[in-house]
Amino acid sequence: MPPGRWKGKPNRETPTAYLEQSPFQQQLLARMIIETVCSKHFADQYLRAFINQTGTRQLCDVCQESRKCADVAAIAQRIEQDLRREYEPLWQSDLPYNPDEDRFPFGPPIDTNELIESETSIDPYEIIEAICKEIETKEWARQDWILPQSDYMRYGWQSFSRIVKHRMRFVFFSEKNHRLFSDIDSDSLHPQEVLKEVGKLIKWLKITHEYPPGSLNLVRARQHMRNEAPKNADSLGAPPDKYAQANRMSPAGISMFYGAFDKETCLAEIVDYDWKASSVTYGSFTNRVALRLIDFSMAFKFPSLFNPGYNGNANYLREGIVFLNAFVQDLRKPISKKDVHIEYVPTQIVCEYLRYMYAGGQIDGLIYESAKHRGGRCVVLFVDNKESIDEGVPAGDIARRVTAPKLVLQAKSVTRVSFKRLWALHLAAEARALAEIDKQLSSFLPYPAAE
């Protein structure tokens, strides 16, 4: 009789499922002696491969299925061997300890259980406990405890942000100014090198994608006075330069196209609910030409410590992903209206660097997660007011344009929404969000809630 009942279907990236257990089943599993396990309880593809390649067909001690299984002792030996690529036993480490304060000033050591959990997903947890019993080392320290590469880059980004907000902007990249940053802490990446590092990570992670003509469907909206009626590409597309205000990725006076991949995200990003005497009009634009975009909304794949081919490049990439995740959070974080001009400066410079100085080829825009609609994706395209046209414009007229159009507004997509309707949609979205939170909280209850 299996100690738990699996629900859901297996996939390639996560353990087969989560164990749905009654209190009795939990006690049964806790009392089990786990000596052999099959690969379906492991998320990491390399640990799964190790079990399938070295194991023999027998009954798994956890799920009671006849599958390729490996001894827990052998799995523990493999895990311990691979952990030593980035960590070392505390007793071998020179991690400083302050006996007077009874603490480690550079961060506490890491328990073996905690370390394994942080590096891979194994379900149920009792397997981790069985593995840890086979590993003699109980506490670990990072080999680069003094300054992890991710912190080195992150501190550089913080210095960069501080300098361009409060010290200099327009001559920041001049090589002559390199000496002006001699007061910057040497324990951080030089501010002038930060964006080069971002560019290198973009290339390594392969998050640049080309979208063929007609493959994008982007929603753009405009909030306006009730007596206005925007309905064409000129009035719904990117604003004319003279009306372009400072935004997340662009300074005042530089027109860019801000949109989203769905209506809900677009409305969440632009609607000001204090402006009650307004309406919103939105429409869908498709790309007339191929566009090459950097997708910062992607989940960056973390290199596995258990990959037999793990090397220094993988280590750099692991640390780079930690830095890039923090960097992307800065790109998308909400900005207070009173701070908008100063707080947007770093991301504006990033955008301009990727547009004009990125070594990986021409870039037409960036994709990033919405700060106001969970799961939504936004886009900024380097497209100004003259580069969007209405559907059905004759080819002859297009040929005579000084600037070749990149986007086409789909006529039937143009929709006007009253403020009353917007407010109703907003309340409904909040209700759905609260219901989802309640659902998540209820999943932590050990027993069904009383009716």
Q: What angle do CA 164, 350, 197 make, to 5 degrees?
A: 100
Rg (CA), the chain: 27
One domain for residues 136 and 213 = no
Whether residues 105 and 219 share a domain: the answer is no
Answer yes or no: is 319 within a domain.
Answer: no
How confident is the model at residue 10, as a pLDDT? 37
Report yes or no on 394 lying in a domain.
yes
Task: Give the pLDDT confidence of 202-240 residue by residue, as tens digits.
Answer: 998 899 999 999 999 999 999 999 999 999 999 999 999
104 assigned to some structural domain: yes
Residues comprising the chain, all counted: 451
Maximum mean pLDDT: which of 119-123, 186-190, 443-447: 119-123
Q: Is 435 domain-assigned?
A: no
Whether 46 is covered by a domain: the verdict is yes
Q: Are residues 226 and 366 in the same domain?
A: yes
Domain count, the chain: 2
The model's confidence at residue 13, banded by pLDDT at 50, 70 and 90, is very low
Mean pLDDT of the 16-20 span: 43
Confidence of residue 4 (pLDDT cuts 50, 70, 90): very low
Of 176 and 2, the structure prediction assigns the larger pLDDT to: 176
Q: Whole domain around residue 116: which residue ranges?
A: 30-142
- Rounded mean pLDDT, 331-352: 79
Q: Which of 142, 165, 184 is the last residue of a domain?
A: 142
For residue 93, the model assigns a pLDDT of 84
Q: What is the mean pLDDT of residues 271-284?
A: 94
pLDDT at 313 (0 to 100): 78
Confidence of residue 437 (pLDDT cuts 50, 70, 90): confident
Determine, yes or no, domain membership for 19.
no
Query: What is the C-alpha to C-alpha distance for residues 275 and 252, in angstroms, rounded to an integer?
Result: 22
How far, CA to CA in Å, does 99 sit from each of 90, 94, 108, 346, 384? 15, 14, 13, 42, 62
Residue 334 lies in a domain: no
Nearest to 226 by CA among 281, 277, 282: 277
Q: What is the pLDDT of residues 290-310, one digit of tens each?
A: 999 999 998 888 889 999 988
Strands of 115-177 (E only): list them. Answer: 139-142
> Of 213-222, 236-245, 370-379, 433-442, where does the model show the most confidence?
213-222
Q: What is the reported pLDDT for 428?
A: 87
* Same domain, residue pair 224 and 119: no
Per-residue confidence band for 111, with pLDDT thresholds at 50, 70 and 90: very high
According to the model, what pLDDT value does residue 225 have?
95
* Together in a domain, 257 and 133: no
- Position 179 in a domain: no
Predicted pLDDT of residue 447: 46
Q: Is 246 buried (19+), middle (13-18) or exposed (0-12) by CB count in 10 A?
A: middle
Torsion sign (Cα): 79, 81, 87, 90: positive
Q: Average pLDDT of 409-419?
A: 95
Residue 147, pLDDT > 70, answer no
Q: pLDDT at position 184, please?
A: 55
360, 202 contact by CB (below 8 A): yes
Residue 152 has pLDDT above 90, yes or no: no
| Residue predicted with more confidence, 6 or 445 | 445
